[in-house]
Amino acid sequence: MRAEIKPKFHNRFDIEVTNADTGEVELRGQAENMVLDRIYTRLVAFSSYFDQIVFGTGSGTMDPTRTTLFNRVGNKPCSTVELIRAFPVSKWTKSIRLEATEFNGNILTEVGISETTTNINTHAMITDAEGNQLTIEKTPVRIIDIYATVFVEFDEFTDGGEWYTTLRDYLAGAGSVPSNTLAISTSKYLCQPNVGMSATATTDAVARTRKLNCQFSNYAVLGIEATGSRYFGETFKDRKLDIPVDRLIWTGVGSLPVTFDGDMYYEYVVSAEEAAANKLFLNFKTTDIEEVKVNGNVITDHYFTEFGDFNYTSEEFSFLDVLAVSNHRKWQDVINTHYYNTGTIGSTVQCGMVELYSEEGFNFVISFRTRQGYARSFYDFATKDNLGDAWVNYITGLGNSTNETTFRYIHINTTQKYLRINCYITEGYGSMELFDWQSYLLPIMKFNTTVLQEGDIVLIKRHHINEIPKGTNYLLNAEAVLLLGEGI
Amino acid sequence: MKKGNIICECGQEFYYETIRDYVVCIKCGERHELKLDSSEDKDEVGD
């Protein structure tokens, strides 16, 4: 998996000559720069590059391999005049002033920016507004202000990627620098779960690149083998959600779409409940299936129930009715805004209850990100097959967790037609917040003539485009490349 | 130095730091006058 990003970089100068006696501006110059190779030794290392303005009196042929002015006269540390941070373009203007008593007798022709006093990162010859070469003589009656402006431009993503601000703020304004951390993530769920790890950074100033490399083999958050405190539920044959990776996150740099084109095979062992209902409960959020085999024989008579986001209205799915939704604030908040803050919890409190009816049973997911103090959220699920039946606890107390910030998934499979969800939060001495809380119905595969038996093996071939599946032997080599270029 | 955030009428959002009394939108060029006290539509904060 590889993602490449290309912020562009440009610098210009504006020079203002003021008569020290009259205060009038008597001359203006400018300078469009050449970005020198040297700057990339600084940028790929996330080092400073713009602390000084260096000026000189030389002339010659501009060359990006130069590291000095043609004839340096002096330098001064520059201070910020203006900083604009935005996407896609940011700019950072710093200036120096040559006072009336300073550097007199020199005829200035060239300027550059640098992090140091001699070597330079950009180089420019001074011109007038029409681009004609201009020389500026420093005299005791002249105050010269030299403004250097750096522009940084980021490409706009067209495929769902997102820039973060740390890299931009380093390039424009000398903010802190991005860390060497990569994460795999998914946009398939609202809470966008991710798992990160430290990566190895390598830099190449000639190629203008900074690369991060690492190998993911972590099953904790993403993928079929998602387990542990993040994953709760009761599913047929203990199936886990397939959460494909479709984003590579470089902390502080951006969330980058990944490219992938390949097949994934899903093997299901049919449960007794599924055989009785002649349905297969899938563990992914799509029906773009290329081939289905039952015990090695290709079948083509399959079809799917509707699937997608569920916001607790009866209008969303033809086979599902919402029988009751409590007015507890939590349920109203998470359903309507996908967010809830408990406030301080002093005792166990009821937070919501819903009763649902589905002709097809439930292939049901709740996912969210949580920030927890010492308060804990629980979900009880009860089912029944007929309206007059008593509720039977299907599973109790899902969602217990410790004091941490992380992602949660609750995945329920049942062929029963009635489902009741009862949520409560237990006391501690803190609070908790739920972010990007989302309910989802996954597809259920049905058949026109095929009859499933308990223990049948169903093999599904699915084509993945721009999402990387996780198998049981999951190792994923990840590389993110930051390619710094001149432009704008 | 004045610092703050602006949402320009053109839709561009940006953060600024400047020693000047104005800032120009990097997208459309509109000039935004800056005051030490914030205003509802510009959200500037002087320091």
Distance from the A420 Cα atom to the nearest Cα atom in chain B, whole angstroms:
45
- Rounded to an integer, what is the distance from CA A281 to the centroid of its chain? 30
- With an 8 Å Cβ cutoff, is B11 touching chain A? no
Nearest one of A372, A350, A344, A351 to A433, comparing CA atoms? A372
Q: What confidence tens digit (pLDDT) does each residue in A320-341 have?
A: 999 999 999 888 999 999 999 8
Task: Tell me which residue in B14, B20, B27 faces A85 most closely, judged by beta carbons.
Answer: B14
Question: Pairing state of beta strands A231-234 and A405-414?
Answer: parallel
Q: How far is A310 from chain B (nearest CA, A)?
A: 32
CB within 8 Å: B17 and A90: no
pTM attached to this predicted model: 0.80
CB A125 within 8 A of CB A108: no
What ipTM was estimated for this complex?
0.82
CB-based burial, A15-41: b 16+ in 10 Å, e otherwise: bbbbeeeeeeeeeebbbebbbbbbbbb
pLDDT of residue A121: 95
The pLDDT value given to residue A376: 77
* Nearest-by-Cβ selection for A83 from B12, B13, B17: B17
Contact B14 A86 (CB under 8 A): yes
In A6-121, where does DSSP find H-type helix?
Answer: 38-43
* Highest mean pLDDT out of A27-41, A134-148, B26-40: A134-148
Among candidate residues A278, A241, A302, the one with its CA nearest the CA of residue A454: A278
Number of domains within chain B:
1
Domain boundaries, chain A: 2-153, 261-463
Amino acid present at A283:
N
What angle (nearest 5°) sits at the alpha carbon of residue A473, between those of residues A472 and A477? 125
**Look-up of token digits 């721009």:** A466
Residue type at A78? C
Chain B contacts of A82, Cβ < 8 Å? 16-20, 23
Confidence class for position B45, pLDDT limits 50, 70, 90: very low
What's the burial of A455, exposed, middle or buried (CB within 10 Å: 0-12/13-18/19+)?
A: exposed
More confident residue, A211 or A470: A211
d(CA A105, CA B9): 48
* Contact between residue A317 and residue A310 where contact means Cβ atoms under 8 Å apart: yes
A81/B23 Cβ within 8 A? no
Closest residue of chain A to B8, computed from CA coordinates: A86
Give the pLDDT confidence score for residue A149 in this predicted structure: 95
pLDDT at residue A395 in the model: 80
Range of the domain at B8: 2-46
Summarised one tens digit per residue, pLDDT across range A348-397 is: 888 899 999 999 999 999 988 888 777 778 889 999 999 999 999 988 77
Whether residue A481 is predicted with pLDDT greater than 50 in this model: the reply is: yes
Number of Cβ atoms within 10 Å of the Cβ of A267: 10
B1 neighbourhood in chain A, CB within 8 Å: 80
pLDDT, position A488: 47
- Give the range among A61-65, A153-157, A391-395, A451-455 with minimum mean pLDDT: A153-157
pLDDT of residue A405: 67
Q: Place A425 in a pLDDT band, splitting at 50, 70 and 90.
A: confident
- Report yes or no: B19 at the A interface, CB cutoff 8 Å: yes
Q: How far is CA A175 from the centre of its chain?
A: 19
- B-chain residue closest to A95, CA distance: B19
Q: At A371, which helix (H) or strand (E)?
A: strand A362-372
Among A250-259, A298-307, B18-27, the range scoring the smallest mean pLDDT is A250-259
Closest by Cβ to B19, choosing from A81, A90, A173: A81
CA distance A15 to A55: 11
Indicate the average pLDDT of chain A: 89
Task: Assess B38–A contact: CB distance below 8 Å, yes or no.
Answer: no
